Amino acid sequence: MKGTPIKSQSRHPKIRAFRTEENLAKWLKTEYDDKGRFCADIAEEIGCSAPHVWTFLKKFRIPIKTASEAHKGKHLSPEAKQKLREARKGKHHSPETKRKIGEAKKGKHLSPGHKRKIGEAKKGKHISEKHKQKLREANSGENNPNWKDGKSNEPYPLEWNERLKEQIRDRDDRLCQMPGCYLSENGKKHTVHHIDYDKKNIDLFNLITLCHSHNLKVNSNRAYWTEFFQELQTMRRLNYKTCSLSETIIV
Ligand SMILES: [Zn+2]
């Protein structure tokens, strides 16, 4: 047999049936890349999970699509559109969300020169630890406007609030970012997940939108999912240096 044989212990008979990794890679490239199918769709056909397909894509160096790329040029069927309309019935964006969407769109028209200037102005401006501590103290407990019966004493830093979560959801097109899922919100807001499981790390790189079932799924196997999403963020060209909201929204 020519090529690298697929591990005989693979749990999935349909994957084993490809016999060689080269055969599987070729088929995956056609289905995912040329035909534009989703990981979840392919996973169902070969009887494994979407992340498993994702792992193969990575292994075979087939470029992974982001949610917005995957949806580009895709049209919803009339039935799917009707379903979405029904789900959205009576649901309106809050004035706050509307304002944020407006602001996010505004950011899209910044010229590269303007962006560079903003970047330069921000450079070197960091809040000192001492100042941060002062801010925390000033807003902790009863001093915090969100304080409700002591319930706001959660281990989240001051900035971790609904406003930030909404910004992340908007940045992620309000779609679950698990490759192959890309589920849109259906009456219930998606979760914003901390990639490194550190609730204090609210760097935009560390935050990603997930549907509720995928948020549950990533609760186990943490080391794996941390690496998985960090790599995904890197592919989305999000990184610690350029992760300002106006730029990430463009992704
Ligand atoms: Zn999902």
In the reported structure, the alpha carbon of residue 96 is separated from the centroid of ligand 1 by a whole-number distance in angstroms of 25
Give residue 174's pLDDT: 93
Identify the domain containing residue 131 by its residue range. 112-153
Give residue 96's pLDDT: 63
Give residue 138's pLDDT: 53
In the reported structure, the alpha carbon of residue 45 is separated from the centroid of ligand 1 by a whole-number distance in angstroms of 18
- Asked if 105 and 214 sit in the same domain, the reply is yes
β-strands 191-194, 207-210: how paired?
antiparallel
Give residue 216's pLDDT: 96
Give residue 203's pLDDT: 87
In the reported structure, the alpha carbon of residue 191 is separated from the centroid of ligand 1 by a whole-number distance in angstroms of 10
- Asked if 95 and 191 sit in the same domain, the reply is yes
Give residue 74's pLDDT: 58
Residue type, 12: H
Token code pair at residue 167: 């910004």
Contact assessment for residue 62 and residue 33, using Cβ atoms and an 8 Å cutoff: yes
Residue type, 206: N
Whether 5 is covered by a domain: the verdict is: no
Token code pair at residue 222: 């943490």
CA nearest to 163, candidates 238, 245, 92, 234: 245
Task: Pick out the chain residues at pLDDT < 50.
Answer: 107, 139, 141-154, 239-251
Whether 4 is covered by a domain: the verdict is: no
- Asked if 125 and 102 sit in the same domain, the reply is no
- Asked if 161 and 135 sit in the same domain, the reply is no
Beta bridge partners of 184: 175
Whether 187 is covered by a domain: the verdict is: yes
Ligand 1 is a single-atom ion; what residues have CB below 5 A from it? 176, 178, 181, 183, 211, 214
Sequence-separated (6 or more) residues with CB below 8 Å from residue 30: none
Per the structure, the count of domains in the chain is: 3
- Asked if 88 and 169 sit in the same domain, the reply is yes
pLDDT in tens, 44-92: 888 887 778 888 888 898 887 766 666 665 555 666 666 556 655 555 5
In the reported structure, the alpha carbon of residue 173 is separated from the centroid of ligand 1 by a whole-number distance in angstroms of 13
Sole residue written with tokens 């908007």: 170
Gyration radius of the chain's alpha carbons: 21
- Asked if 99 and 118 sit in the same domain, the reply is no
Sequence-separated (6 or more) residues with CB below 8 Å from residue 14: 45, 46, 47
Give residue 227's pLDDT: 92
- Asked if 143 and 38 sit in the same domain, the reply is no
Query: In a 3-state reduction of DSSP, which class is residue 32?
Result: helix
Whether 205 is covered by a domain: the verdict is: yes
